């Protein structure tokens, strides 16, 4: 009953009701006003008629009684007066002679009281010889003179008539008026209500529209064509709604759509995952979240520029969308569609509801990888990207967006570590290693601050005479609980946490300062410093190296920078640009781990390097593996042709040394001569060999 009640109460408080009520009040007021006026006029007219009628009665009597007065026939006069009074409209009457002597009276008491009629009206009638009348206290009093046949004033007739008749007539008139007014109200009030309702209809539609707009959709428009203020109001309302609507859509786009690719953004994806996982829990179904990171995108972005990079992301988005839609259609279009989103940078995510068989999920991921494996055409350049995908399955790997995304991200990192262009499922053990990584990163931060890092030096020895020709600086971490850690334990973490910049700078500064100090004591030996990808690719790399050289006072020719083959391969033009300003000053460059990156020869001949460092894996297997031996031979032949120096790494046995010497390698580095050692040990080692040599020479 509550809705009916509220409906009624709303109707009672509606504008139509208020206006109708006001109209009713106005109608009643008008009718009352008219009735009062009408009544007044009626009363006046009735009164005049009554007075006239009373006067006529008295005059008619006066005409007929002059003889009786002259004859002093009181009994006849008495009967005339009585018959007059018997009629209801005269209450009192008397007849007096010309000298005002009372002759007869309708009321015997009045007769007795005074012999003379002293009423002023009587006096006036006799004095003027004309009929006089007066109304007082609801009574009409009349005094009419009586003339004889000879036209002589012989007496006077006095009557009093009540005006009850008048009041009765007024009452009747009033009742009639009221009846008319009521009938008029009954007829016209509904008509007025109808008219009011009709003219207020635009307001009703405005109200309805406002209500819909506030609770349901802004997609409402009001059609009011009244030509009055309401139409102006309705049009303004429509404009306002459409502006709010478009603003809201804009806000929604900004909040939920990635502007570069037009894909849903992180927030939108998160919401969708939330909805789908909830539904999956309720309906006992499953699905997968894929976390995708493009391989090699950063390099492409750096070399093509941001604008082209964005275009490339757009193309990637399109392929992802097409692949996802293709899968949805293949599934028969039933069930929830998949969603592709961009988290930012080169990271994308896919939500695949209703998929639970892990073989099928793996096929899905493989389909996505193949879709991105085809080359992209960016302003005429063929660009090859790959993708690393991490897969988290719900509900088993998590039931809410955060954990699913985190787990898929972890799995993606594993896919990337194993070389990229692959998909990995999340495994609970990944959480543990991620945790360890986190601890490691935090400790590494402290290590930098608290000077726990040290630089060790390993000699590079001349093949021909065994003299120490130069050194390589290798960083160590003097961990407070784990002891001395080699870079393999922390360089990756340093790269990922961005600490590598700081660490690399520190090593470079230390190594340069050390070499400068040795040189000042007569031990003039070049020092080689390893530089990571991130460090090398930073735009102010060359400047910071030059600044360190200047501050430490090391001659640029005594610094050799080692870049791994994979860094050197990434982006030729960029490498040349970064290397050239330093090479111009005399800094040397070496390709580290050479042979592992399958570089093309034509590419290498164009690169500005001074030294090839043959990777230790070839040196180690040279003796038993003819293929390794062939690789070493080729590298050495190539170096000879390009007039480059070569360093053979990881030389542990004299057999290896002999073999390398036969092939014509320039320098050797390895445990056969010395492990990496602290600076003081290195200095002692180098000086001892030099002194041996000098002694031999002088002997
Ligand atoms: P790398 O540049 O190839 O350095 C040579 C590695 O081989 C060193 O390992 C060295 O101790 C080891 N080694 C030398 N001779 C022998 C041998 O005869 N037998 C064997 N089995 N190993 C030998 P380390 O010091 O653990 O460094 C590992 C890698 O860490 C380095 O490989 C280098 O890529 C990186 N690294 C070291 N210091 C730095 C640094 O200051 N900055 C950067 N970015 N990376 C560094
Ligand atoms: Ca190295
Ligand atoms: Ca190496």
Classify residue 488 by its DSSP letter.
Answer: G
Does one domain contain both 455 and 546? yes
CATH code for the domain of 377: 3.30.70.270
Helix (H, G, I), strand (E, B) or coil at 333: coil
Does one domain contain both 308 and 348? yes
Does one domain contain both 585 and 463? yes
pLDDT attached to residue 246: 86
Does one domain contain both 367 and 295? yes
The residues pairing with 352 across neighbouring beta strands, listed in sequence order, are 288
CATH code for the domain of 135: 3.30.450.20
Give me 488's structure tokens: 């393999």
Does one domain contain both 236 and 121? no
Residue 17 falls within a domain, yes or no?
A: no
Q: Identify the domain boundary among 123, 141, 169.
A: 169
CATH code for the domain of 585: 3.20.20.450
Measured over the CA atoms of residue 46, residue 51, residue 57 and residue 59, the dihedral's sign is negative
Does one domain contain both 385 and 300? yes
- Tell me how long the chain is: 699
Atom 23 of ligand 1: nearest residue by CA position: 650
Does one domain contain both 390 and 446? no
Residue 388 falls within a domain, yes or no?
A: yes
Residue 187 falls within a domain, yes or no?
A: no
Q: Give the Cα separation of 206 and 198 in Å (integer).
A: 14
Residue 696 falls within a domain, yes or no?
A: no
Q: Give the Cα separation of 536 and 555 in Å (integer).
A: 20
| pTM strictly above 0.95 | no
For residue 507, give the ligand 1 atom closest to its CA.
41
Residue 364 falls within a domain, yes or no?
A: yes
Alpha-carbon dihedral 571, 575, 576, 581, rounded to 10 degrees: 160
Does one domain contain both 593 and 653? yes
Neighbours of 425 (CB within 10 A): 21
Does one domain contain both 70 and 132? yes
Measured over the CA atoms of residue 677, residue 683, residue 686 and residue 692, the dihedral's sign is negative
pLDDT attached to residue 206: 85
Q: How far does the centroid of ligand 1 lie from the alpha carbon of residue 52, in Å?
A: 143
Q: What is the mean pLDDT of each run of 10 residues along the chain (699 residues)?
A: 78 85 91 88 84 88 90 90 82 90 83 74 92 87 92 92 79 87 91 90 85 82 83 88 85 86 93 93 93 89 86 95 92 84 94 91 94 90 90 91 92 90 90 78 89 96 92 95 90 87 95 97 96 90 96 97 86 86 96 77 77 92 87 88 92 94 93 96 93 83
Does one domain contain both 500 and 412? no
For residue 671, give the ligand 1 atom closest to its CA.
18
Residue from 456, 471, 474 whose mutation best tests the ligand 1 pocket (most atoms within 8 A of CB)? 474
Closest CA to 409 of 231, 587, 516, 290: 290
Contact between 63 and 155 under an 8 Å Cβ cutoff? The reply is: no
Closest CA to 678 of 456, 350, 366, 429: 456
In the chain, the number of structural domains is 4
Residue 603 falls within a domain, yes or no?
A: yes
Residue 2 falls within a domain, yes or no?
A: no
pLDDT attached to residue 612: 92
Give me 408's structure tokens: 């898929």
487 lines ligand 1 (CB under 6 A): yes
Segments forming the whole domain that contains residue 251: 206-256
504 lines ligand 1 (CB under 6 A): yes
Residue 191 falls within a domain, yes or no?
A: no
Does one domain contain both 373 and 247? no
Q: Give the Cα separation of 495 and 493 in Å (integer).
A: 5
Does one domain contain both 420 and 475? no
pLDDT attached to residue 319: 96
Helix, strand, coil share (%) of the chain residues, nearest 5: 60, 20, 25
475 lines ligand 1 (CB under 6 A): yes
Classify residue 650 by its DSSP letter.
Answer: -
């Amino acid at each position: 009953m509550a809705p009916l009640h509220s409906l009624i109460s709303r109707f009672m408080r509606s504008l139509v009701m208020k206006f109708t009520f006001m109209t009713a009040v106005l109608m009643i007021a008008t009718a009352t006003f008219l009735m009062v006026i009408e009544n007044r006029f009626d009363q006046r007219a009735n009164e005049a008629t009554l007075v006239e009628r009373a006067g006529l009665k008295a005059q008619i009597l006066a005409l007929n009684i002059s003889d009786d007065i002259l004859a002093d026939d009181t009994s006849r006069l008495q009967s005339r007066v009585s018959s007059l009074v018997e009629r209801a409209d005269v209450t009192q009457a008397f007849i007096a002679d010309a000298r005002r002597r009372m002759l007869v009276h309708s009321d015997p008491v009045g007769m007795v009281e005074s012999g003379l009629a002293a009423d002023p009206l009587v006096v006036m009638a006799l004095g003027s010889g004309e009929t006089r009348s007066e109304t007082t206290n609801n009574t009409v009093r009349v005094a009419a003179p009586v003339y004889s046949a000879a036209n002589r004033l012989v007496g006077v007739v006095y009557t009093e008539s009540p005006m009850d008749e008048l009041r009765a007539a007024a009452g009747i008139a009033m009742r009639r008026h009221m009846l008319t007014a009521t009938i008029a109200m009954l007829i016209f009030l509904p008509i007025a209500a109808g008219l009011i309702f009709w003219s207020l209809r635009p307001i009703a539609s405005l109200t309805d529209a406002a209500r819909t707009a506030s609770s349901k959709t802004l997609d409402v428009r009001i059609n009011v064509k009244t030509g009055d203020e309401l139409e102006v109001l309705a049009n303004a309302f429509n404009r306002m709604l459409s502006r709010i609507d478009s603003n809201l859509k804009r806000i929604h786009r900004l909040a939920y759509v990635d502007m570069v690719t037009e894909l849903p953004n992180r927030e939108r994806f998160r919401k969708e995952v939330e909805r789908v996982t909830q539904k999956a829990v309720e309906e006992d179904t499953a699905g997968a979240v894929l976390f995708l990171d493009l391989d090699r995108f950063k390099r492409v972005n750096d070399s093509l520029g941001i604008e082209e990079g964005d275009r490339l992301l757009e193309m990637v988005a399109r392929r992802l969308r097409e692949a996802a839609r293709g899968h949805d259609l293949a599934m028969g279009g039933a069930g929830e569609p998949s969603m592709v989103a961009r988290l930012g940078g080169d990271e994308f995510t896919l939500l695949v509801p209703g998929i639970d068989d892990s073989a099928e999920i793996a096929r899905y991921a493989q389909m996505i990888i193949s879709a991105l494996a085809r080359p992209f055409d960016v302003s005429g350049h063929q660009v090859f990207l790959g993708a690393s995908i991490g897969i988290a399955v719900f509900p088993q790997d998590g039931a809410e967006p955060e954990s699913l995304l985190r787990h898929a991200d972890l799995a993606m990192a594993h896919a990337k570590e194993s070389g990229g262009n692959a998909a990995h499922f999340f495994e609970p053990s990944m959480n543990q290693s991620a945790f360890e990584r986190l601890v490691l990163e935090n400790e590494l931060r402290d290590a930098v601050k608290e000077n726990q890092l040290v630089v060790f030096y390993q000699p590079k020895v001349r093949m021909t005479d065994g003299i120490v020709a130069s050194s390589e600086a290798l960083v160590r971490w003097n961990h407070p609980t784990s002891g001395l850690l080699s870079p393999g334990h922390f360089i990756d973490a340093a790269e990922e946490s961005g600490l590598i910049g700081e660490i690399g700078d520190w090593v470079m500064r230390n190594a340069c300062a050390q070499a400068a100090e040795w040189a000042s004591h007569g031990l003039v030996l070049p020092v080689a410093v390893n530089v990571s990808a991130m460090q090398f690719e930073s735009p102010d790399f060359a400047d910071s190296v030059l600044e360190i050289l200047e501050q430490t006072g090391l001659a640029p020719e005594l610094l050799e920078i080692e870049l791994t083959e994979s860094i050197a391969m990434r982006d030729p033009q960029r490498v040349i640009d970064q290397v050239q300003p330093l090479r111009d000053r005399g800094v040397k460059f070496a390709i580290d781990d050479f042979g592992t990156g399958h570089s093309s020869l034509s590419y290498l001949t164009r690169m500005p390097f001074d030294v090839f460092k043959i990777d230790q894996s070839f040196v180690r297997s040279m003796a038993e593996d003819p293929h390794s031996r062939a690789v070493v031979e080729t590298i050495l032949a190539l170096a000879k042709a390009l007039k480059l120096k070569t360093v053979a790494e990881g030389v542990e046995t004299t057999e290896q040394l002999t073999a390398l010497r036969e092939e014509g390698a320039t320098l050797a580095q390895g445990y056969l001569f010395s492990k990496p050692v602290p600076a003081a040990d290195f200095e002692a080692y180098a000086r001892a060999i030099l002194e041996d040599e000098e002694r031999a020479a002088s002997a």
